[in-house]
């Protein structure tokens, strides 16, 4: 495939550059810290004014405490204004504010009786915030400043105010707390810086990956088309050409509307109403159903789009295989955990039914138990048959002779007249199939047909004819009400049934058995009745 022009869906390097400047986050953190400081100052001021004599604030010198709290309020307002103006620089503001906190809070502590007032604990929050905002810079310096101030205040009390020297231990422990807080903030800041550097590196990696993505889409299983805002195809992969045809055949500008009008209509509808469901599409070559997804390029849906086209037939096959594989793993447990108890229940029910003198109510209840046990037994048998599908012993035989024998046996067992069946068989057709497997499939199809047909003469038709590539077609058609169109896509799903007594496994197992014999089982839409077709290999 010729190299097509590259459309960069998103310049990730530019997106990383447009992220918020890390300096903005520093100033924002400092603003939050100043708000906290202003709130603390206001609370201390209110405590000094409204609760004078009630709390220990200013117990030694209330005038000094009130002056310090007013000063703290003024400093808090000034700090908040300077932070909003971002002048002077952040480190200088932070150091001045922490120094002011140390001086003012230690003064309040002195005015409230010293170390026992507990006001020194307020510096722990200031030191932690300073360490985080400065990313660890000067954290230990601020802790040392606070420790010296506390020790100096207590020394002044001991020398000049007859303070207790035994409280040096409490002052020392508080100083240790300052250093521990600063050390913790330093380590947290170090991890934050490392995370920022990692984020920047990841941004570079993402920018590089954007280029790699251009190569990756060429090997994707889904079809990929990249179109710009004008609907011009800028990039595509091989799978897209397999689904919709060659892009190289387009003349002039590679317009999406010319390449696939249905896909262009879906794109326009998605741009106008992104919540609307895309119009069903089919592949040009294989006629397989396609699901289209649209991813916008940039912020607006009109700037361009990446279109992913998924072959739904492949997805449906994979989902069906997964479902049946899961059922197969359950069969062993089902056989041991359900079959044996069912046999015991069935045997006990039969014994109770043989008891003389049972009332009509008891007889009816026992009949209900027996019928449901039989239904569960059939379900277990059908599930166990999932494991038998790989044990096909295929042989060549005349399908006409087989069907005549099958109809005779079916009518005898079901106790119906053979005139219900009408055979339209080509002579000499030989199929390659496991006879017991075909018998299982035909019993399932004919029982369903008998359940829903009118039971008139020729209500069920069995038709055989040859097909290209040495294939043989076998049709089972009834004259019943048919299958609702909304339910047809669920016909072959395990456990899907419309009958109250059905297990929902018959058609699913029948299709699996056919595939194990190299055949297919499909539903053919019909105006009257249900129509199933088996396409098997001839011989």
Tally helices (H) and strands (E) across the chain: 16, 12
Contact indicator for 512, 528 with CB cutoff of 8 Å: no
Residues 50-83: b if buried by 16+ CB within 10 A, e if exposed: eeeeeebbbbbbeeebbbbbebbbebbeebbebb
| Tokens, residue 208 | 């590089």
Sign of the CA dihedral with 278 first, then 282, 283, and 284 last? negative
pTM: 0.39
Q: Please report the pLDDT score of residue 457 as a whole number.
A: 93
What are the residues whose beta carbons fall under 8 Å from the beta carbon of 376, sequence distance 6 or more? 338, 342
Per-residue pLDDT of the chain (539 residues; tens, 9 = 90+): 434 433 334 344 444 444 445 577 788 888 888 899 899 989 988 888 887 655 677 778 888 888 988 999 999 899 889 988 888 888 888 888 889 999 999 999 888 888 888 888 888 888 888 888 877 677 888 888 988 988 898 888 888 887 787 788 888 888 898 888 888 888 887 787 778 778 778 877 777 776 777 677 777 778 888 888 888 888 788 888 888 877 766 666 688 888 888 888 888 888 888 877 766 677 766 677 888 888 888 777 788 888 888 877 777 767 766 776 676 666 656 666 777 787 888 888 888 877 777 788 888 888 888 878 877 777 777 666 655 555 668 899 999 999 999 999 999 999 999 999 999 999 999 999 989 889 989 999 999 999 989 999 999 999 999 988 788 999 999 999 888 887 887 888 877 676 656 666 778 888 888 888 889 999 998 888 899 999 998 87
What are the residues whose beta carbons fall under 8 Å from the beta carbon of 255, sequence distance 6 or more? 231, 232, 233, 264
DSSP H helices in 415-517: 435-452, 506-516
Nearest to 494 by CA among 338, 386, 371, 339: 386
Q: Please report the pLDDT score of residue 191 as a whole number.
A: 81
What are the residues whose beta carbons fall under 8 Å from the beta carbon of 40, sequence distance 6 or more? 72, 122
| Angle in degrees, 0-180, between the axes of helices 90-111 and 22-50, rounded to the nearest 10 | 20
Q: Please report the pLDDT score of residue 404 as a whole number.
A: 94
Contact indicator for 308, 293 with CB cutoff of 8 Å: yes
Q: Please report the pLDDT score of residue 331 as a whole number.
A: 64
Nearest to 65 by CA among 124, 109, 114, 121: 109
Instruction: Give backbone dihedrals phi and psi of 522, rounded to 5 degrees, phi first.
Output: -135, 155
């Amino acid at each position: 495939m010729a190299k097509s022009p590259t459309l960069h869906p998103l310049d990730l390097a530019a997106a990383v550059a447009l992220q918020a400047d890390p300096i903005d986050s520093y100033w924002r953190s400092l603003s939050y810290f100043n708000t906290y400081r202003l709130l603390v100052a206001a609370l201390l001021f209110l405590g000094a004014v409204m609760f004078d004599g009630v709390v220990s604030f200013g117990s030694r010198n209330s005038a000094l405490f009130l002056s310090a709290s007013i000063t703290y309020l003024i400093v808090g307002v000034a700090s908040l204004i300077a932070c909003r103006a971002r002048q002077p620089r952040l480190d200088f503001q932070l150091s001045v504010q922490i120094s002011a906190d140390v001086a003012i809070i230690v003064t309040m502590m002195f005015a409230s009786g010293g170390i026992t007032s507990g006001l020194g604990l307020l510096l722990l929050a200031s030191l932690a915030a300073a360490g985080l905002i400065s990313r660890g810079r000067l954290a230990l310096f601020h802790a040392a400043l606070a420790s010296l101030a506390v020790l100096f205040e207590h020394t002044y009390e001991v020398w000049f105010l007859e303070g207790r020297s035994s409280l040096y231990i409490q002052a020392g422990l508080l100083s240790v707390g300052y250093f521990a807080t600063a050390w913790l903030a330093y380590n947290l800041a170090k991890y934050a810086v490392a995370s920022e550097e990692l984020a920047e590196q990841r941004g570079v990696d993402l920018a590089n990956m954007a280029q790699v993505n251009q190569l990756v889409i060429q090997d994707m299983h889904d079809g990929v088309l990249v179109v710009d805002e004008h609907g011009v195809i800028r990039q595509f992969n091989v799978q897209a050409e397999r689904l919709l045809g060659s892009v190289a055949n387009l003349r002039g500008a590679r317009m999406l509307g010319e390449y696939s009008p249905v896909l262009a209509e879906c794109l326009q509808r998605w741009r106008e109403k992104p919540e609307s469901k895309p119009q069903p599409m089919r592949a040009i070559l294989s006629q397989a159903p396609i699901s289209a997804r649209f991813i916008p390029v940039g912020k607006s849906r009109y700037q361009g789009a990446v279109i992913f086209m998924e072959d739904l037939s492949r997805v449906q096959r994979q989902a069906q295989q997964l479902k049946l594989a899961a059922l197969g793993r359950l069969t062993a447990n089902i056989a041991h955990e359900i079959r044996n108890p069912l046999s015991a229940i069935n045997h006990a029910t039969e014994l109770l039914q043989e008891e003389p003198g049972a009332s009509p109510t008891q007889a009816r209840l026992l009949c209900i138990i027996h019928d449901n046990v039989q239904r569960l037994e059939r379900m277990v048998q059908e599930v166990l048959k999932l494991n038998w599908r790989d044990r096909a012993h295929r042989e060549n035989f005349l399908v006409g002779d087989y069907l005549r024998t099958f109809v005779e046996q079916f009518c005898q067992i079901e106790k119906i007249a053979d005139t219900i069946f009408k055979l339209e068989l080509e002579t000499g057709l030989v199929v390659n199939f496991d006879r017991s497997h075909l018998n299982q499939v035909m019993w399932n199809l004919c029982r369903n047909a008998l359940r829903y047909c009118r039971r008139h003469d020729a209500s069920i038709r069995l038709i055989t004819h040859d097909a290209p590539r040495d294939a043989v077609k076998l049709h089972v058609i009834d004259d019943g009400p048919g299958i609702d169109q909304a339910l047809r896509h669920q016909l072959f799903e395990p456990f899907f049934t419309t009958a109250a007594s059905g297990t929902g496994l018959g058609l699913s197992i029948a299709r699996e058995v056919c595939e194990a014999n190299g055949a297919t089982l499909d539903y053919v839409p019909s105006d009257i009745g249900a129509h199933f077709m088996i396409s098997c290999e001839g011989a």
